[in-house]
Structure 1
C-alpha cells in the first residue's frame, strides 16, 4: 500500500476572486463625508493610517481575497474558529474518496514543549525524537489508510469509512475573507515582536498565515503597511 508523506503546506491566492484595493478602502471611508465625490479623492496613506489608528474598521471590509489551502485537517480545523468575515468550502469525505496524503513534521520543526499554558515555547528535539516522530506517524497512517480501504471495498459508505482517518490527512479548502477579517486572523496566527498583543500560534498554521500575509501585502500594500505600523491590531 502506498501513502504519500509531505511536510509542506500549500497556499495560493485565487486571482479571479481578488477584489478591492487600498483606493477602494479610501473611497469607502470618504463616502460618509464626500458622497459620490469620494471616488476622486487622494492622500491614501494618511487616511488609511488615521482609520487604522482610530479603529474605524468598516472601510477595510471593502475587498475580498480567496485562498486555496492544502493542509492537514488539524490546520483546517483551526481555521474554522475564525468565523466573522470568513467563508469556507472544503473537500468532502462524504462524496469523494480521499487521497492517501499525510502530514509529517519537517526536520526543522521544534518538537519539545516547555513552559506553562499561554506561554509555551518549543525547542528542537533529539535525533531519536525526530526519528520516532516520523516512524510513528507513518505507521499510524498506514494502519488507518488500510482500514479505510478495507471498508470501502466491503461496500461501506464513504461517510462512515472516513471515521478512521487521522487529523494528519491532507484536505483542501477555499477560505475567503475581507481585509479586515484577514488582519484579525493574522494578528492571532503570526508571531511578531512588534505586535501590540503577543500571539503564540502553532507553527503549521503560522506557515499558512505568513503566506497569506505576503499576498495581502502585495495586493493591499498601504493597508498592510499601516496595520503593521500600528501594532498589527485589526481595526
Structure 2
C-alpha cells in the first residue's frame, strides 16, 4: 500500500491545521495540499507546498503593484498570449513542492529534468522498505518491433506468468540478501551505502521535488504524452489534474498550445499554404523526408 496508517495519520493532522495568511492562495490547490494520490502499486504524489496562482503570472507579466488582475477575461487572454508566444518567465513565478514515492528506474528518468530542486531519501543512512514495483499483467509487453524505446503487444499465458514470477522472486531474493548483509547476529554487517548496490531498479525511493511552473509544464509536455513510458506517464497524468486545479487558465493554455498543438517547420507551413490554394501536395513534391511527411500527415489528421 502507498501509505502506512501512521503516515496517513500524520498527513491527516497536517490537513487539519489552518493558518491565516496574506499570501496569495489558489483555492483549487488548497484542496490538494498534503493529500497523497496513489500511483502504481506502492507510489504516490502529494503537494507539500506551493507559491502563486494564475494572477501571479499576470502580475509578473505586467510588473504591477497589486495582484495584477484587470479582469478575469484580460488575465486569461494575457496568459494565453504568453503561452502562445513562448514567454516563459512569468510562469516561473509559480512554484510547487512535491513529495513523490516512485520506483528507482522511474526516478532515473525523472531526474533527467535538471530544472528542479531535489532531495532524495538516503539509503546511506536509512534502510529501504521491502516495496517493489511489479507491473500489472496488462502492462507486461514485448519489445516494439518499430520503436527501439517502446513496447509492443502484451505478453500472455505462461510467458507472462514466468516473467511476473522472475520479477517477484528476484526482487525478494535481492532484498533478503540486502537485509542479511546489513547485519546478522554475531556479524559486523556491511555498511548500508554498500549493501544498497545489490537492490534492483524496481525498488521504491522517495524524494521532495520543487519546481517552477514553466519547467513543470515542460516536464508534463514530455511525460504526459502518449508516447512516454507508462510508469512515468501515470505520475505525469496525476500531476496534470493537480496543475489544472492550481492554475486553470495557465493549464488550459498549456493544453491548447503545447499538448494539443503542433509545431510546423517552414517547409510544412509552406505545404499547408499550398493545400489551402488547392494544390495537390504529396511527400514527393513536399520537400520532406518520409519520416517528416508521416508526422505532418499525423498532425493534420489529428
Measured against the shorter chain, the TM-score band is 0.7 to 0.9
Q: 2:50 aligns with which of 18, 23, 29?
A: 18
Q: Secondary structure at the match of 1:96?
A: coil
* Residue segments in structure 2 that go unaligned for 5+ positions in a row: 1-39, 262-302
- Matched residue, 2:178: 148
Summarize the Cα distance change of 1:40–1:204 in structure 2 as closer, same or farther, 3 Å threshold.
closer
1:113-133 Cα shifts (integer Å, max 9, x gaps): 223346734322212232112
The whole-number CA distance in structure 1 between the counterparts of 2:255 and 2:199 is 39
Say if 2:55 and 2:67, in contact at 8 Å, map to a contact too.
no
Q: 2:158 aligns with which of 119, 128, 135?
A: 128
Pair 1:62 & 2:93 matched: yes
* Residue segments in structure 1 that go unaligned for 5+ positions in a row: 1-5, 193-199
- Matched residue, 2:112: 81
Root-mean-square deviation (CA), in Å? 1.8
Q: Secondary structure at the match of 1:102?
A: coil
The number of aligned residues is 215
Q: 2:215 aligns with which of 154, 168, 181?
A: 181
Larger Rg: 2
Pair 1:204 & 2:238 matched: no
- Matched residue, 1:101: 131
Say if 1:110 and 1:122, in contact at 8 Å, map to a contact too.
no
The whole-number CA distance in structure 1 between the counterparts of 2:67 and 2:134 is 51
1:39-68 Cα shifts (integer Å, max 9, x gaps): 343311100010011111100001111211
Question: Structure 1 length normalisation: TM-score?
Answer: 0.85
Of structures 1 and 2, the one with the larger relative CO (CA 8 A, separation 6+) is 1
The whole-number CA distance in structure 2 between the counterparts of 1:8 and 1:92 is 18
Summarize the Cα distance change of 1:187–1:132 in structure 2 as closer, same or farther, 3 Å threshold.
same
Summarize the Cα distance change of 1:61–1:133 in structure 2 as closer, same or farther, 3 Å threshold.
same
Say if 1:27 and 1:41, in contact at 8 Å, map to a contact too.
no
CA deviation after TM superposition for structure 1 residue 108, in Å: 2.4
- Matched residue, 1:196: none
CA deviation after TM superposition for structure 1 residue 190, in Å: 1.5
CA deviation after TM superposition for structure 1 residue 37, in Å: 6.2
Q: Secondary structure at the match of 1:172?
A: strand
The whole-number CA distance in structure 2 between the counterparts of 1:91 and 1:231 is 33
Summarize the Cα distance change of 1:162–1:206 in structure 2 as closer, same or farther, 3 Å threshold.
same
Question: Structure 2 length normalisation: TM-score?
Answer: 0.67
The whole-number CA distance in structure 1 between the counterparts of 2:192 and 2:62 is 52
- Matched residue, 1:221: 248
